[in-house]
Structure 1
């Protein structure tokens, strides 16, 4: 057997053993739906921060972004800038208030503090909606968009296994999703969060090492033509046509920066805010998380540049999203390469598991428990959630196996759907006292529907090239303000808002000596 293949097999196997071991470790600690969905709200700042990173920056970071830079130039880096700003903003304006509000809002159905475990249940309780519409519609949006999001991870996983082991992408998708489902099935939120910490460290180390080694190799090769680097920095079309103006084109800049808005509405990231131990842990968690994110995206952009310089414009790569694994295989010792390739697998799995968990929570908490059996026992709900994890994984695998969509396309579609469908609604729900359930419903439906329709409309009719997030967020905001007056902000909702605001402000005060 080839030494490189053997090294990859053994390192991947060791990685799988560690992930499953963590799942088994927390299995007995998962005894209620709160444990399975939010880990009992006991994440410390380091685990919450790094888990937010790992659950967010999937194969997109290690495959999609370097591949986009390699294929289209520096203009794609605006996405990284937008994401950095949006990620920092979400920790500042969303995390602390959402942590308090999801626990303190009055239960719309039974009264008393709700301890909302999902975004859908939070929205129902925040707006005292007894119709079930907010909860039902938001759960449907979560399930629909997560099927595409999880599918993007499986596509990335299939591409990685195909390149490393030579197996078909279909077999790779089935094998990979089986491992993810197994440890998520066992340990739920705690298993996902603890594995995320390991995966975040692996991803960052790989992003640091490979670009450095690549740049050293490029600069040390006197015969290598590195003139392409200037083209990348200026922006190019295809693989080499210089287009400086393209980098600063308004549509390119606006579309790239708009990705940052998505952070306000991503359920798998917001779940980390909801599961953190207390508001006092938020600043440190945010600092850890944002520092990791900014440095990791910067290194991923450098990776794309290095790929252009190393592989060149003329021959290039058949698949631009293979820049990272191709550099690893070309430059590294087989055993080191195996570890670094496992980091790419970690990036994919760390997001897929979080998304599976949130989607299964929507089925269990916002479907089965809310509409079918509200008095189900804690253990029954845990097992229903485990079954839901399997069901969502099978459906997402079906999408991944059915077409040849790129990682970037699938992520962009789901990211816009969540960002526009939930982002404006969540943000305003935390800061606007008089917001009502009708405004929230209109914002969700309008934003989510526009995100779905825009790509087709723009491709067939408008031809603007504008990312769907921009028009979808505009439609969501208009819907919220136009339809808000059709509902009523009750006195109880106002009291909840004041109570949450007071608790949040008190928690932020420094402890006196």
Structure 2
């Protein structure tokens, strides 16, 4: 690989900029709250773009365009489900969770919030939810490291082992040094890069294929059913794809952005920015895959890599249609998508280990400086475990990622949603919700019942468990009082 390669130079500049942001954030990190929640200081723009970038991994620029390229618009149901789910999460959870976490012991993590909200003196809620986070997110981190390694491997011709460390090193560096602020600031840059790539690329592909009419005629000539939203779908199939949206209510790395907003007043503006970003990005993603059908049917001589692996459609279009320097910037957007999600996942795991295990059970009197350094050590520990899991990219454990989203969505989603809108929810209801949601997902996935995506029954059964178990008990006067004070605060300031 030549040192004068424009793509390599662009990647190096981009990675150096992310690490520099990490060192800038280091100067603003004085205590554990700063390290794992940015001192609750994020404005609406950073909250919005950070939530979006942490959500959308390499799937946005590789997986979804590839699926659209292969099957046409029928694969876009998942994008519709995600947009609806993200909007409802911003509408019902974001502002309320920001206020509830502050009123409930100024909670810094999701397990911390559950323990304070439901006055769980036993520590059971905290331990179970922290374990769920650690198990699923360590697997998630491994998948992110594999995606980064695959990108470096295919772009620079590196061996997989070298690419593994090259892809992971930069993300680990800025997360380790700068914590939540570094992750949020870099997410904002990465979200900007991703939307630039996803708006520019389909426009250039459209121009290269002769405009809208010619492109649509070429897609239709290749296969008229590419335009059919119901092609090869069933009612259960569509519901399953739309069901992905339910996952948003329970994703710790997205919920952390809501908790870190500087005030409830920022949430409404952040929602508008984030949803605009998300709709444009998903629209651009679908367009890249869809217009790619026309481009490669007109240029079969360059279609080899995409025929071999349809997830390379964005990569190949960027290489073929753009100046190498611009292509380097566009390909950096894939790295941005991978890094933004991986960094958030590393930090959430570090937060669970530091706040919910180390500080709570081992060193209650630990100083803030000690806790920040323990947090940094936990980032390294989780990263090394994830790299070890990713060392064999065909390891079966990475297949678990396909239902990790469902696991979080069903185990935490109903608990978070109901806890911020219903004052009569109890600790036993929360425990029942987490356990029923997680167990339903695992059992449903194992038996592949009805062909229905496991998050849907998991979410429904967990919600019913929360409701009926909560009715069997009674929340304490303190729980109701804090809930009502937070709800009043939310309505006064939203």
Counterpart residue number, 1:482: 468
Alignment of 1:264-275 (within 5 A): 264-275=249-260
Alignment of 1:42-441 (within 5 A): 42-105=41-104, 114-219=105-210, 226=219, 227-228=221-222, 230-234=224-228, 244-247=230-233, 249-312=234-297, 316-404=306-394, 411-441=401-431
Structure 1 position 229, deviation (Å): 5.9
Counterpart Cα distance in 1 of 2:5 and 2:443:
46
1:36–1:389 distance in 2 versus 1, CA, 3 Å = same
1:230–1:399 distance in 2 versus 1, CA, 3 Å = farther
Structure 1 position 282, deviation (Å): 0.7
Structure 1 position 411, deviation (Å): 4.9
The answer to whether the 8 Å contact 2:149/2:166 transfers is no
Structure 1 position 405, deviation (Å): 7.5
1:407–1:449 distance in 2 versus 1, CA, 3 Å = closer
Which piece of structure 1 moves more, 377-386 or 5-14? 5-14
Counterpart Cα distance in 1 of 2:240 and 2:331:
31
Counterpart Cα distance in 1 of 2:388 and 2:271:
36
Structure 1 position 504, deviation (Å): 0.8
Q: Show CA shifts across 1:299-325 (max 9, x none).
A: 101111122222349965212221111
Which piece of structure 1 moves more, 298-307 or 197-206? 298-307
Counterpart Cα distance in 2 of 1:472 and 1:436:
20
Counterpart Cα distance in 1 of 2:121 and 2:478:
14
Q: Show CA shifts across 1:152-200 (max 9, x none).
A: 2222212211221011333212221111111100000000111111101
Counterpart Cα distance in 1 of 2:340 and 2:322:
24
The answer to whether the 8 Å contact 2:139/2:398 transfers is no
The answer to whether the 8 Å contact 1:151/1:410 transfers is no
Structure 1 position 354, deviation (Å): 0.8
Structure 1 position 486, deviation (Å): 5.0
The answer to whether the 8 Å contact 2:11/2:328 transfers is yes
Counterpart residue number, 1:22: 21
Q: Show CA shifts across 1:435-484 (max 9, x none).
A: 111111111111122223322211xxx4x332121121122123213332
Structure 1 position 208, deviation (Å): 0.8
1:186–1:9 distance in 2 versus 1, CA, 3 Å = same
Instruction: Give the SS at the match of 1:402.
Output: coil
Calculate the TM-score normalised by the size of structure 1.
0.90
Counterpart Cα distance in 1 of 2:242 and 2:12:
39
Counterpart residue number, 1:499: 485
Structure 1 position 211, deviation (Å): 1.1
Counterpart Cα distance in 1 of 2:10 and 2:223:
33
The answer to whether the 8 Å contact 1:51/1:196 transfers is yes
Instruction: Give the SS at the match of 1:317.
Output: helix
Instruction: Give the SS at the match of 2:5.
Output: helix
Counterpart Cα distance in 2 of 1:195 and 1:489:
41
The answer to whether the 8 Å contact 2:142/2:398 transfers is no
Q: Gaps (5+ residues) in structure 2?
A: none
Counterpart residue number, 2:452: 466
Counterpart Cα distance in 1 of 2:296 and 2:454:
32
Q: Show CA shifts across 1:420-443 (max 9, x none).
A: 111000000011111111111111
Which piece of structure 1 moves more, 156-165 or 418-427? 156-165
1:455 aligns with 2:445: yes
